[in-house]
Amino acid sequence: MTQSHRPHRARRTGLLAAAVASALSLTTVALTSPSAASAEPAAPADAAPAAAPAVPAAAAAAVPAAGEVVVDEHFAGPALPAGWSAVEGDWKVENGRLVGTSANSGQQSRITFGRHLNDFRLEATARFESVQDAARWTAFGLDVPASGATPWSIATMRSGTTAANGLEFAQRTPANSWNVTNTASAPTAAGTGRDVRVAVEVHGTTARWIFDGKEVMRTTQVARSADGGQALVVNGSKVSFDDLKVTALAPGGWLRPAGSPLTVFAHRGASSAAPENTLDSDEIARRGGAEWIENDVQPSKDGVPYVLHDDTVDRTTNGKGRIRDLTAAQLDALDAGSWFGPTYAGARVPSLAAQLEDLRTRGGNLLLEIKGAHTRDEVARIVKEIRDHGMTGRVFVQSFEVDALRYTRELAPELPLGLLRGGLDADPVAISKELGLSAYNPADGALAARLGVVKDLHAAGVAVNVWTVDSAARWKALEAAGVDGIITNRPAELAGWNSAWLQGGTVTTPPAAPTVAITSPASGATLDRAQQPVTAVQANGADTVRLTLDGTELPAGSPLDTAALALGKHTLRAEATGPGGRAETTAEFTVAATPTGLASLVLTSGADRNAVATLTVMLGQGQYQPLAHWAENQAGRSIPADRARLIAGDARALDAAPRS
Distance CA 573, CA 422 (A): 50
SS3 11: coil
Choosing from 5, 8, 203, 267, the catalytic residue is 267
Check if 74 is active-site.
no
CA distances from 280 to 186, 222, 286, 313, 347 (A): 32, 22, 10, 18, 7
Check if 267 is active-site.
yes
Those residues whose C-beta lies under 8 Å from the C-beta of residue 62, and which sit 6 or more positions away, are none
Distance CA 112, CA 237 (A): 18
Q: Extract long-range pairs of 146-152: CB within 8 Å, 24+ residues apart.
A: 146/85, 146/112, 146/227, 146/229, 147/87, 147/112, 148/85, 148/87, 148/88, 148/110, 148/112, 148/231, 150/174, 150/175, 150/176, 151/223, 151/225, 152/223, 152/228, 152/231
How is 488-537 classified by DSSP, letter by letter? ES-HHHHHHHHHHHHHHS--PPPPPPPEEEEEESPTT-EE-TT--PBPEE
Q: Dihedral (C-alpha) 455, 459, 461, 467: value to the nearest 10 degrees?
A: -10
Distance CA 156, CA 185 (A): 11
Choosing from 8, 309, 389, 570, the catalytic residue is 309
Distance CA 413, CA 370 (A): 16
Peptide bond into 521 cis (omega under 30): yes
Cβ atoms of 237 and 130 closer than 8 Å: yes
Q: Is the dihedral of CA 377, 383, 387, 390 positive or negative?
A: positive
SS3 223: coil
DSSP E strand stretches across 328-394 = 365-370
Distance CA 438, CA 17 (A): 30
Element (H, E) at 439: strand 439-442
Distance CA 111, CA 80 (A): 10
Distance CA 177, CA 59 (A): 31
SS3 591: strand
Q: Is the dihedral of CA 159, 232, 165, 15 positive or negative?
A: negative
C-alpha closest to that of 398 among 300, 304, 296, 303: 296
Residue 303 Ramachandran class (φ > 0 left, ψ -120 to 50 alpha, else beta): left
User: Catalytic residue numbers?
Assistant: 267, 309
